Amino acid sequence: MTRIEPERIHPLNSQPLTSGQYVLYWMQASQRAFWNPALEFAVDLADEQRLPLLVCFGLTPHYPEATLRHYAWMLEGLRETAQALQERGIGFVLQLGHPPDLALDLARNAAAVVTDRGYLRHQRAWRHSLAERAPCLVVEVEGDCVVPIEIAYTRPAVSAAVLRRRIQPMLSRFLKPLQERAPRIRANFSKPTLDPTDTERLLSLLEVDQTVKPVSFPAGTSAARQRLQRFLEKSLPRYSDLRSDPRHDVTSGLSPYLHFGQISPVEIALEVSRVGGPEADAFLEELIVRRELALNFVWYNPDYDRWEGLPRWARETLQAHVADPRPAIYTLEELESARTDDPIWNAAQSALAQTGRMHNYLRMYWGKRLLVWTARPEEALRIGLYLNNKYALDGRDPNSYAGVGWCLGLHDRPFPERLIFGKVRAMTPEGFQRKYGTVEQRVLHFD
Ligand SMILES: Cc1cc2nc3c(=O)[nH]c(=O)nc-3n(C[C@H](O)[C@H](O)[C@H](O)COP(=O)(O)OP(=O)(O)OC[C@H]3O[C@@H](n4cnc5c(N)ncnc54)[C@H](O)[C@@H]3O)c2cc1C
């Protein structure tokens, strides 16, 4: 009997359980040894079948849009995960190649394959590619959201309000602790594996953009948990007042950990709920409603990274203003190297390029200004996604597509019409300075 809510469990093929040597958990999205529904489901299945559990991670040499910065951070987290799995008596192999092919290879001797859920196009394609070819049952377990996406809503949600109404009544059902259990049979495999502790060698095997350097921001589940505790003690009490103020660093900084699945959103939500009160509610609105609105967007909208994925009213109004005069048109190279005439924007872009992070409010401003400095809104979308995904530690996430899309009207409502923006909500340097004064470079860096 599994401890996982049935709504999180999605069989991906109709193959039977076979008599294999182990149960395989193909880990990709939920890169953690704790509070991981896919892992715990696999433990239960292995116990039921009286088999050991093997976890495999496929290291693709060229993951879409990933740079050295992303890989270095991910591998640091994976090192801790590999060790924690081994301590729990679970086998771990790390292999270089195309992840579904590596998983298929190991699936030939497995009784069943369990995997976690990814919401983006290529993540879904990988899982289906394995499920179609595997000789055994393949089950996907959804563990990186609070409310499973198809239970939350069966179609695209046009706004946070729509999703909030659906999700709120379901929270008590899905906000439940998940107790870890060691498998009954300890794993003792001699499978070929790369050494997860040899980061330097692993990085040398990749075919990625080496120009985006790693950042000194600690990765992994322990670092995520420490950051969460520090946030609860120091920042949560000021969260609703100051979260939008870029002069203060009161947000949690948990987005990269969530992106790489190094911490569970359910674990975070339960810890924050324990504190309770309006500050906790404000945080949970971002962590659950806003974040899961982004999951809803990429899951139900096949054009989530294209112009066609934006709402019709937003595309029409932006197109109607294409001929409006722009104060300046900057090339991608000028934007990327932070050479505009706007010191706030330049500081935000420099912080992103150097540290991999940017404050949420500045992200909105940063994305909106791209509309003013590009000849066409399609270009603003393309450049916004390119820069965000190349440099942000939490980039290439459902939130990346929803966040940049929001700057162009996604999940928002029409506002009074104005130049360039049309009916899309505008943000201007004057408005920014009225609210926050001149933001100096130093406050754009996080600790
Ligand atoms: C142009 C633009 C680009 C963005 N790109 C990304 C991105 O690449 N990756 C990313 O994770 N987020 C992105 N966001 C959303 C948001 O800015 C970040 O999630 C947030 O700033 C992360 O900081 P934090 O973890 O300290 O947030 P906190 O305020 O501490 O919030 C906790 C968690 O809630 C979620 N969250 C917070 N704000 C939002 C939001 N507006 N929408 C959806 N989820 C939210 C995140 O998972 C976050 O980690 C983008 C927003 C914009 C406007």
Mean pLDDT of 252-261: 98
1-143 folds as Rossmann fold (3.40.50)
Number of helices and strands (H, E) in the chain?
A: 21, 6
Report the candidate in 261, 88, 281 with the shortest Cα–Cα distance to residue 171.
Answer: 281
Task: Please indicate whether residue 255, judged by its CB atom, sits closer than 6 Å to ligand 1.
Answer: yes
Mean pLDDT of 245-269: 95
* DSSP secondary structure letters along 44-96: HHHHHTT--EEEEEEE-TT-TT-BHHHHHHHHHHHHHHHHHHHHTT-EEEEEE
CATH of domain 307-444: 1.10.579.10
At a CB cut-off of 8 Å and minimum separation 6, what does 118 contact? Answer: 28, 29, 124, 126, 127
pLDDT at 170: 97
Q: How confident is the model at residue 440 (pLDDT cuts 50, 70, 90)?
A: low
Q: 């929001």: which residue's tokens?
A: 406
Percent of the chain with pLDDT over 90: 92
Task: Please indicate whether residue 252, judged by its CB atom, sits closer than 6 Å to ligand 1.
Answer: yes
Report d(CA 286, CA 253) in Å as an integer: 12
Task: Please indicate whether residue 357, judged by its CB atom, sits closer than 6 Å to ligand 1.
Answer: no
Does residue 418 sit in helix, strand or coil?
strand
pLDDT at 189: 85
- CA–centroid distance, 258 to ligand 1, in Å, is 10
Say if residue 90's pLDDT is above 70. Answer: yes
pLDDT at 445: 53
The atom number, within ligand 1, closest to the CA of 388 reads 8
Per-residue model confidence as pLDDT tens digits over 293-336: 999 999 999 999 999 999 999 999 999 999 999 999 999 999 99
Order of strands across the sheet that contains 91-96? 9-11, 137-141, 110-116, 22-27, 53-59, 91-96
The domain 145-180+220-300 having CATH identifier 1.25.40.80: the answer here is: yes
pLDDT at 107: 98
Per-residue model confidence as pLDDT tens digits over 262-279: 999 999 999 999 999 999
Report d(CA 77, CA 79) in Å as an integer: 5
Report the candidate in 157, 158, 120, 121 with the shortest Cα–Cα distance to residue 314.
Answer: 158
Torsion of CA 364, 367, 368, 373, to 10 degrees: 150
Minimum mean pLDDT range among 24-28, 125-129, 440-444 = 440-444
Q: How confident is the model at residue 246 (pLDDT cuts 50, 70, 90)?
A: confident
Say if residue 447's pLDDT is above 70. Answer: no
Say if residue 433's pLDDT is above 90. Answer: no
Report d(CA 344, CA 334) in Å as an integer: 15
Report d(CA 249, CA 89) in Å as an integer: 40
Q: 């046009």: which residue's tokens?
A: 158
Q: How confident is the model at residue 444 (pLDDT cuts 50, 70, 90)?
A: low
Mean pLDDT of 211-217: 95
Contact yes or no for 430/344 (Cβ under 8 A): no
Mean of the per-residue pLDDT values of the chain: 95
* DSSP secondary structure letters along 346-411: HHHHHHHHHHS---HHHHHHHHHHHHHHSSSHHHHHHHHHHHHHHH-TT-SSHHHHHHHHHHTTTT
Pocket test for ligand 1, best of 394, 444, 447 (most atoms within 8 A of CB): 394
Which of the given ranges, 103-112, 242-251, 432-441, has the highest pLDDT on average?
A: 103-112
Give the residue whose CA is nearest to atom 42 of ligand 1: 290
Task: Please indicate whether residue 262, judged by its CB atom, sits closer than 6 Å to ligand 1.
Answer: no
Domain boundaries, the chain: 1-143, 145-180+220-300, 307-444
Per-residue model confidence as pLDDT tens digits over 17-63: 999 999 999 999 999 999 999 999 999 999 999 999 999 999 999 98
Task: Please indicate whether residue 400, judged by its CB atom, sits closer than 6 Å to ligand 1.
Answer: yes
Give how far Cα 438 sits from Cα of 204, 432, 434, 446, Å: 42, 8, 9, 17
Q: How confident is the model at residue 1 (pLDDT cuts 50, 70, 90)?
A: low
Q: Which residue has the higher pLDDT, 350 or 246?
A: 350
Mean pLDDT of 226-243: 95
Per-residue model confidence as pLDDT tens digits over 139-195: 999 999 999 999 999 999 999 999 999 999 999 999 999 999 999 999 998 888 999
Q: 């971002």: which residue's tokens?
A: 286
The atom number, within ligand 1, closest to the CA of 384 reads 1
pLDDT at 446: 54
Q: Which residue has the higher pLDDT, 64 or 358?
A: 358
pTM of the model: 0.97
Do the domains spanning 1-143 and 307-444 agree at the CATH topology level?
no
Cβ neighbours of 182 (radius 10 Å): 13
Say if residue 441's pLDDT is above 60. Answer: no
